[in-house]
Amino acid sequence: MNSNLNQNILFLGNRATKISARMQLKELGIGFSTLTFNAALPFLKEKNSLLADSNLLKIDCDYSIEELKNELIELIQTQQLNGSFKLIIGDPSEILYQAFGSALLETQLYNQRASHEVHLWLYPMGMTSLDIRKELAQFIYKLKKNETQVLLLRKNTNESIELLNTLITKIDLTSFYELEEKMDGLEYLIGKQSANLIDG
């Protein structure tokens, strides 16, 4: 196991969090965090919330990219949410994923860090929708502009779990190019392909 990743993995969004629950990471001694969105029940005077691991954070915004992004920026800057992960895993078609990724790029902390997170995308479930493709194009442009490293995992859920276990616990992580060569179903999308996964 690469100790540099320990406690620096974020499973972001509902799909990634469900996958993390099937990976037995705690049993393997691998530290990780999860972040999901919880919608308030209709007709009740409650606010929407974020579930950060087991901590419930009330937020005063709707489930939209721009509103969530602004809320997340404040939570990251006030350190109510961790804004420094080595590896972020999730489905980029989820609004929370795009909002959190955009928020990271816009926080003051981002440019002060020596290295930045790597995004590992589960193949988007909503890619049949033209609107989601447009949203993803804008999100990809932001990531590309900031030279953010992104890998795509093009596998079904069961195979994704197996590959993620290998990625996190066994493989000697070197460069994107070497990683892509070693692991079937893993594709480089954005970033410096010769860069080291951990150090950027």
Residue 94 is predicted with a pLDDT of: 92
Name the pLDDT band for 33 (thresholds 50, 70, 90).
Answer: very high
pLDDT band at residue 72 using 50, 70 and 90 as cut-offs = very high
Q: What's the pTM?
A: 0.86
The CB-side HSE value for 158 (13 A sphere, CA atoms) comes to 0
Q: Give me the phi and psi of 117, to 5 degrees please.
A: -65, 155
In the chain the domains, ranked by start, together with CATH numbers, are 3-35+66-190 (3.40.50)
The percentage of the chain sitting over the pLDDT mark of 90, rounded to a whole number, equals 32
The least confident of 15-24, 36-45, 110-119 is 110-119
